[in-house]
Amino acid sequence: MRELRRLHEEISRLDERAAREADPARRRRLEERARHLKSRRYRKIRGVVKDVVGEIIKLAREHQAAIVVDTMEEESYRELKEGDGSGVRKHFLDGLGQLRRRLQALAQWYGLPYLEERLYSTVCPRCGAEMEEERRRVMRCPVCGFSDHRDNVPLIWAKRRYWELLQKTKQPAFSASILLLTS
């Protein structure tokens, strides 16, 4: 991620300099350099996606696990993507999109149960009520009293979705392992 950020920054610097440069030959050189770095960034993101997906698939196959991806609402995804001037986030989110597509394709190929699902961190996994932040990062349900760390709530949802998925696919060989990919 650090290297990607560095690449992004260098590319925007080059783009800005090229836009200001009056001399055509010098401008061309700057543009070429930026293009070169852009294709490096593209290859870099593709490489990271390949590695990460490979690792997740390997773990899922070893543990006979289902893969549940915690997705974002389409709307917040767009907002995130557009609300960032530098474009760093846009490339990161594009990479996440690639990752999801590749993960889904490979899961299908290996016959691993795969599910994309919005996993809530503010909805009570016990009774479905809206939870409140009791203290920093700790959520509490005002209805049934259930309380847990904010990061654990999506995991509980993932587990629940996992059992639902098992029932749907009827694959009793799959154990209770869960691989959770949070975006």
The reply on whether position 139 binds Zn ion by CB under 5 A is no
Tell me the two tokens of residue 155. Answer: 């995991």
Site for Zn ion in 105-124 (CB under 5 A): 124
Q: How far is the CB of 2 from Zn ion (least distance, A)?
A: 40
- Closer CB to Zn ion, residue 105 or residue 144? 144
- Closer CB to Zn ion, residue 114 or residue 157? 157
Binder of Zn ion out of 28, 127, 130, 182 (CB under 5 A): 127
Tell me the window of 24-32, 36-44, 139-147, 150-158 that interacts with Zn ion (CB under 5 A): 139-147
Helices (H), 64-182: 74-82, 88-109, 152-169
The reply on whether position 142 binds Zn ion by CB under 5 A is no
Query: Measured between alpha carbons, how far is 108 from 77 in angstroms, rounded to an integer?
Result: 25
Three-state DSSP at 19 gives helix
- Closer CB to Zn ion, residue 107 or residue 141? 141
Q: How far is CA 157 from CA 41, 58, 119, 126, 127, in A?
A: 35, 23, 6, 9, 12
Q: For residue 43, give every residue at least 6 positions away whose Cβ sits within 8 Å of its Cβ, in sequence order, or none.
A: none
Residues found near Zn ion in the complex (CB under 5 A): 124, 126-127, 129, 141, 143-144, 146
